[in-house]
Amino acid sequence: MKKYSFFSCVLVSVVLTVVGCSEKVDDTARYVFKEETLISYMEKHSDTYSEYLDVLKNTPVSEVSKSTIYQLLTARGNYTVFAPTNQAMHRYLQSLVDEGLITEPTWDAFTLDHVRDSIRKVVAYSSIIDGGDFLSYETHTFPTQNNGELQLGNMKDRKLTVRYVDQYPDSLYINYDCPISIKNRDIPAINGVLHQMEKVIAPRDLTMADMLADILDNRKEGFMVAARLALACGLRDTFSVVEDNKYREMYLSGRIPDYDGQAVGWTFKSGNTAPACAPRHRYYGFTLFAETDDFWRREIGKEPADITCNDIQQWILKNRQYSRDDVFEANEDWTSPDNLLNQWFTYHVLPMRIAANRLVFHVNEYGYNQSQKQLTIPVYEFYATMGKRRLLKIFESKESNGVYLNRFPTLDNGRRGTYHELSCDPDKVGNHIDNYSDNVLTYQALNGMIYAIDKPLSYTDEVRENLAKGRIRFDAMSLFPEAMSNDLRKKESYDPRDQFVHFPPNTTYRYLDNMDMNNETQFVYLNAYQYNWCNNQEDELKAVGHYEITIKLPPVPRRGTYELRYRVLPNGDRGIVQFYFGHDKERLAPTGIPIDLRKAGTDPYYGYEADTEDDFHNIEVDKHMRNNNRMRGEMSIQNSSGPCRTGSPNNLRHILVRQTLDPDKTYYLRLKSVLDNSRTEMYMDYLEWCAKEIYDNPIEPEDIW
């Protein structure tokens, strides 16, 4: 990974400006260097890039700026440019001729200026990533996983994907079929890096609805049956939405504020001086895990084009791909949430767009090295599906050999174990997700993704039972689909905009559907990229003010007695919180007395003692803490000092609730400050559902992981 420092350059003139979170374009800073800028490099090689340079000179930076992208790339910055050659530009214009948009492959052939300008904008915006305005930068690295997305979006705010061809180890394609030159790539300039492209990057903005309709209209083999089911179940309008335009309008007009915590004496991290920035957009997204046409051909005995919704519903009934507790009607009202086919199919859909390399997050699990990226112990996510809210588990480990849905292996989870997979029964392997093959990028839409799975996905009694037999630990940010669809969660970026994200209170605008906030809440997400914190995945949620926050929780898998646990890293910045819980959001009951989030495990009441070599003693300490509704932290998370459970008493779980819960009810958790001091923090990392048969099992006690 290359690094460049602007201090190594000869600086003739410097204009220092403060760059905040707004979209104001700063084109006042101009530097003269001994080395090349991106523009000077391309101009020196104008026989290769003159057509692209012409596009940059005629494309403004934004709708509110007169500056061009050409000017932008002459200034200081950290840009990654995928620059098409003149030959690539000519082929692109010829493709527009073939489509009938123009009559000859030149920019002068456009009869309407706004059409020509919009095409130029697509070419320019799609080819440039702005890496932020820092004194030093790292060249934009590519994900190692096939079909992975680059961490930062381009100027269209779209993520570019990479594709590798196994038999050609030096090959690298962007967005499936746009090859990067083998000879002319990773070319350093003083304000970024350039990759020469042999094809113009100009993706079409197809929605999920467009893609599914195209599959059906043109009988494209692969997901014809899935497309038919999606549209029959009434998801066309849902899959058509891309962005919340009202939010965007309010953001651009300045009615969605950033938050300068330092102005009121609150820093989101020691030494931070940047404001917490509101998201620029509020995108919608969807992820569909679908059985393939080949699967249905084998199961139904018909060609996919001939398979009907009724065929699939009868197959569901015949193979009992539902739970005995499900209430449904096996009629042909496919759009009804009471319809069997509708309930079965919507379990395949998550209300968020998840890229191929972000189905699970490998960050700071036990034994994992972020630079080497060698898989170790299992990591997983629990999400609530669309339609009737049900629990879906996404899982990957060193031994799983891929990412799976609803996998339930046997783990080496003893107190002296490794937490690796020991084995996995055939009926618990789960559904393998194809997130590696080239097919993935074929089914990538503007607002969603389709992933092939290798067996039917159903919320059966067996799946419910297996979910309930394991501790259900869900990261707080997994509760908010907007975090994934808007690329806010676990972004590998040092940019303060990505590290500190401010969500406005509901009275300003409801950004997170699953959260209510009063007007006195200042709520910030800390991405905490490479902070080395003992949080799950390192990140955390924080708030100050006289806050009152209500969160919609994921469903439990089956009826039973559960504990709801809240994990905290105590310190002096935290506050005292009263928790409330229940299924009637307007009448939530307090879970007990307020909890002081400043108190570490060493508080005499909690009964904490560090682990010793005597496991019988350790077990007794854990029992004593549970009697006080406290638990030590988990063994599965680490920082540079080792496992977080053994590293510090500042790693606690509070047992908030212990009661019988119903899978068909929605439950809420409210956190309310009880202090007059408006600068003390609310904190949230993860929550857990844990069934009684786990925490009160006399034969196999709950593990420490």
Nearest CA among 651, 385, 384, 437 for reference residue 540 = 651
Tokens of 208: 């999920």
Q: Report angle CA 129, 134, 140 to the nearest 5 degrees.
A: 35
Q: Which two tokens stand for residue 275?
A: 């404001």
- Percentage with pLDDT > 90 across the chain: 83
Residue 136 has pLDDT above 60, yes or no: no
How high is the pLDDT of residue 616? 94
Note the pLDDT tens digit of each residue in 362-389.
Answer: 999 999 998 889 999 999 999 999 999 9
* Res 2 pLDDT > 70: no
- Give CA–CA dist 195/188, Å, rounded: 9
pLDDT of 100 strictly over 90: yes
Instruction: Determine which helix (DSSP H) or strand (DSSP E) holds 582, and give its type and residue range.
Output: strand 576-582
Count of beta carbons in the 10 Å neighbourhood of residue 697: 12
pLDDT at residue 5 above 70? Answer: no
- Which residues on adjacent β-strands are paired with residue 616? none
Question: pLDDT digit string (tens) for 169-227?
Answer: 789 999 999 999 999 999 999 999 999 999 999 998 999 999 999 999 999 999 999 99
Q: For residue 367, is it left (φ>0), alpha (ψ between -120 and 50) or beta?
A: left
pLDDT surpassing 80 at residue 164: yes
pLDDT at 22 over 60: no
Question: Secondary structure of the chain: what % helix, strand, coil (to 5)?
Answer: 25, 25, 50
The fold for domain 472-695 equals Jelly Rolls (2.60.120)
423: helix, strand or coil: strand
Beta bridge partners of 445: 448
SS3 (DSSP) at 299? helix
Q: What is the pLDDT of residue 273?
A: 82
Residue 428 to residues 395, 409, 469: CA-CA distances in angstroms?
Answer: 12, 7, 12
Question: What pLDDT score does 26 carry?
Answer: 40
| Predicted local distance difference test score (pLDDT) of residue 303 | 97
CA dist list (Å): 410 to 142, 416, 426, 471, 702:
34, 15, 12, 13, 14
Q: Closest Cα partner for 49 from 58, 36, 39?
A: 39
pLDDT at 141: 78
Alpha-carbon distance of 460 to 406, in angstroms, equals: 11
Q: Which CATH architecture has domain 204-242+283-397+432-468?
A: Roll (2.30)
Mean pLDDT of the chain: 92
Domain boundaries, the chain: 3-197, 204-242+283-397+432-468, 472-695
Matching CATH topology for 3-197 and 472-695? Answer: no
Report d(CA 412, CA 414) in Å as an integer: 6
CB 514 within 8 A of CB 480: yes
Q: What are the start-end ranges of the H helices in 233-322?
A: 245-252, 293-300, 309-318
**Contact in structure between 229 and 292 (CB atoms under 8 Å):** no
| pLDDT for 19 | 37
H-helix or E-strand containing 43? helix 38-44
* Cβ pair 387, 349 in contact under 8 A: yes
Give residue 497's region: left, alpha or beta (phi > 0; psi -120 to 50). Answer: alpha
The 10s digit of each residue's pLDDT in 336-355 is 999 999 999 999 999 999 99
SS3 category, 433: strand
Lowest mean pLDDT among 117-121, 392-396, 424-428, 597-601: 597-601
Reported confidence tier of residue 167, pLDDT bands at 50, 70, 90: confident
What does DSSP say about strands 472-475 and 686-691: parallel, antiparallel, or unpaired?
antiparallel
Look at residue 27 in the predicted model and tell me its pLDDT. Answer: 41
Between 584 and 166, the more confident residue is 584
Pairwise CA distance, residues 371 & 617, whole Å:
37
pLDDT band per the 50, 70, 90 thresholds, residue 140: low
Query: What is the pLDDT, as a whole number, of residue 21?
Result: 64
Concatenate the DSSP letters of all residues of 332-371 into one string: S-TTSTTBHHHHHHHTTEESS---TT-SS--SSBTT--TT
Classify 3-197 by CATH class. Answer: mainly beta
Confidence label for 267 from pLDDT (cuts 50, 70 and 90) = confident
Q: What does the alpha-carbon distance between residue 632 and residue 637 come to, in Å, rounded to a whole number?
A: 12
Q: Is 173 helix (H, G, I), strand (E, B) or coil?
A: strand
Confidence of residue 295 (pLDDT cuts 50, 70, 90): very high
Place of tokens 């009869």: 111
Distance of alpha carbon 487 from alpha carbon 416, whole angstroms: 38
**Of all residues in the chain, what percent carry a pLDDT higher than 70?**
94
DSSP output for 557-591: SSSEEEEEEEEE---TTB-EEEEEEES-GGGPEE-
Q: Which two tokens stand for residue 131?
A: 């890496």
Q: Assess whether pLDDT exceeds 70 at residue 116.
A: yes
pLDDT in tens, 645-691: 987 788 999 999 999 999 999 999 999 999 999 999 999 999 999 99
CB of 365 within 8 A of CB of 636?
yes
Mean pLDDT to the nearest integer, 304-318: 98
Nearest partner of 180 among 162, 165, 195, judged by Cα = 195
Contacts of 669 (CB under 8 A, 6+ apart): 550, 551, 553, 564, 579, 580, 581, 656, 687
Above 70 in pLDDT, residue 402?
A: yes
pLDDT category at 151 given cuts 50, 70, 90 is confident
Mean pLDDT of 308-331: 97
| Paired residues of 290 in beta bridges | 452
pLDDT in tens, 46-87: 999 999 999 999 999 988 888 999 999 999 889 999 999 999
Q: What is the spatial distance between Cα 603 and Cα 551, in angstroms, rounded to a whole number?
A: 28
